[in-house]
Structure 1
Amino acid sequence: MADDARRDSRGTIGSYTAVGDSFTEGVGDPGPGGGFVGWADRLALLLAERHAAAAPAGDFRYANLAVRGRLLDRIVAEQVPRAVELAPDLVTLAAGGNDILRPGSDPDDVAARFEAAVAELSAAVGTVMICTGFDTRGVPVLGLLRGKIATYNAHIRAVADRYGCPVLDLWSLRSVQDRRAWNEDRLHLSAQGHTRVALRAAQVLGLEPPTDPDEPWPPQSQRLPSEVRRENIHWAREHLVPWIGRRLRGQSSGDQVQPKRPDLLPLR
């Protein structure tokens, strides 16, 4: 566990609201009915199990307000006030990543707006856990933004120190450096990647997860350079070019999407 992980000292968490974008909505981790599961849903199940063991008479309640493609300002305008209204024991906030990926964005400015959201949530919620960005070393195209992401992460850590927030440190999670942790679009985690993040989040909150989130992946055969080239060409044609096109047109994959779980409902 990373040195800066803070264990929850406020007793059992009885309610949880997830705030964010596609990462927290669970894109890349398919669920029943065409929806997504994702790390936040998986974390909610782990929290519900602990709550059931400690307080069997009460229901654990969970809301997920995250919507794919959301920029930070829209998350702050739409999701943060709703999370404050719900006033759960725990909020997770993962936001700003889509802003950082935009050309010309300033991580200092994005971080200042992120801190305002943390301040608002911290005044109304028991615990606010915030998330760093992933290390994009070795990732095509996104690897060019590694320094920008690292700068934003440094700000996030400073914000966590100022407000006493536990940090879900995705940069240091070695297991998600494996390509099997990622969906074929290379922008979203796979089901296995989401599972690793949920286990790490549980650790940060003081739970003992069933497996180690940094457990080594099973060995696999070495890919030929020709196979890697074919995969890169397919990825660029099927995922990178459409993604760039949406950015140029000012469109978002979540324009017509509503939160999948807008209310704090029992999770059994």
Structure 2
Amino acid sequence: MESQRNAGSARWGSFVALGDSFTEGLADADPNGSFRGWADRLAEHLTAHDPQLRYANLAVRGKLIRQIVDDQVPQAVALRPGLVALNAGGNDIIRPGSNPDAVAELFDSAVGELRATGADVLIGTGFDTRGTPVLRHVRGKIGTYNSHLRAIADKHGCYVMDLWSMRVLRDIRAWSEDRLHLSAAGHRRVALRACEALGVPVAADWREPWPALPETPWREQCARDIRWAREYLAPWISRRLRGVSSGDGRTAKRPQLEKLTAGRPSA
């Protein structure tokens, strides 16, 4: 890993992102009607150092790790990129009865397959979900999964984007209205964290404190919680009960390696 870190600002030439809604970039709206997200933002930072960089994003919302391993990993192998970002397993971990040990085995096999091509691999840990209304109940499973991810990174020589330690993401402004996906500001900070993990120089700091927020009256907070439960929590539970995924019928937003559109800010 030391040699990788010393070459962190080198030109990879091509970058492919794999995963689910987190990597697709949900809740970080793009002016073209799609979603931007931390992976797109990372690609923009990489492009600032190498304008010839080609980028693909194969992530699709709602996907489980088996689907990512079976569908996205072979596509990435065929593209033969210099750098791959793999973030998977979150949708599995939050499901009742899921086994983080079994999920980690699949993740390990995927990383091994990607590394065998000669690609560098960036993986991200799970978020610390303390204080969140639903996901705090699976915090222990996320912690167990994170331990596996770090062991996998050591085994295969991967870069690690440590999301668990990002205390700035505990701020409500880091999350969208659904409280399950990052906001644009949250995605921006994660992209900066990824740059730090890869050794890519950037001007901004993901640790920058949030501006002070006025205190929210109790009644207003209760009203927000009720509206959130009605508009986001209930539909999410309904989809789980019906076995329906938000990604059903969807395809990757950037299936091929292409240069980014000129003029996009790296922020």
Q: TM-score, normalized by length of structure 2? A: 0.94
The structure 2 residue matched to 1:7, chosen from 5, 8, 12, is: 5
**What does residue 71 of structure 2 align with?**
78
Could you say which residue in structure 1 is the equivalent of 2:149? Answer: 156
Unaligned runs of 5+ in 1: 53-58
Shift of 1:257: 1.1
Using the alignment, how far apart are the partners of 2:60 and 2:6 within structure 1?
Answer: 27
State the match for 1:29 in structure 2.
Answer: 28
- Counterparts of 1:24 and 1:177 in 2: how far apart (Å)? 19
> 1:232, CA displacement in angstroms?
1.1
- 1:7 match: secondary structure: helix
In the other structure, the counterpart of 2:190 is: 197
Q: 1:111-169 CA deviation, whole Å, 9 max, x = no partner? A: 11111111111101420011111000000021111111101011000100100101011
Matched residue SS, 2:212: coil
Residue 17 of structure 1 aligns to which amino acid in structure 2?
V
Residue number in structure 1 paired with 2:207: 214
Alignment of 1:77-226 (within 5 A): 77-226=70-219
**Whole-angstrom CA distance in 2 between matches of 1:32 and 1:125:** 35
Q: Is the 8 A contact 1:91 1:125 kept in 2?
A: no
Deviation at 1:189, TM superposition (A): 0.4
2 CA distance for matches of 1:140 and 1:8?
41
Question: Corresponding residue for 1:47?
Answer: 46
Task: Map Cα deviations across residues 156-193 of structure 1 (whole Å, 9 max, x no partner).
Answer: 00100100101011001111111100000001000000
Compute the displacement of 1:86 (Å). Answer: 0.5
In structure 2, the partner of 1:56 is none
Any conservation in 2 of the 1:14–1:48 contact (CA below 8 Å)? no
Contiguous gaps of at least 5 residues in structure 2:
263-267
- C-alpha distance in structure 2 between counterparts of 1:232 and 1:49, whole Å: 41
What is the rounded CA distance, in whole Å, between the counterparts of 2:108 and 2:61 in structure 1?
Answer: 21
Task: Give the TM-score normalised by the residue count of structure 1.
Answer: 0.94
CA distance in 2, matches of 1:186, 1:8: 37
Give the structure 2 partner of residue 63 of structure 1: 56
> 1:86–1:264: 8 Å Cα contact kept in structure 2?
yes
Q: Secondary structure at the match of 2:61?
A: coil
What is the percent sequence identity of the aligned residues? 57
Q: CA 1:229–1:133 in structure 2 vs 1: closer, same or farther (change >3 Å)?
A: same
**Residue of structure 2 aligned with 1:235, choices 215, 220, 228:** 228
**Partner in structure 2 of residue 262 of structure 1:** 255
CA-atom RMSD in angstroms: 1.3
Looking at structure 2, the residues matched to 236 and 47 of structure 1 have their Cα atoms a distance apart, in angstroms, of: 39
> How many residues matched?
258
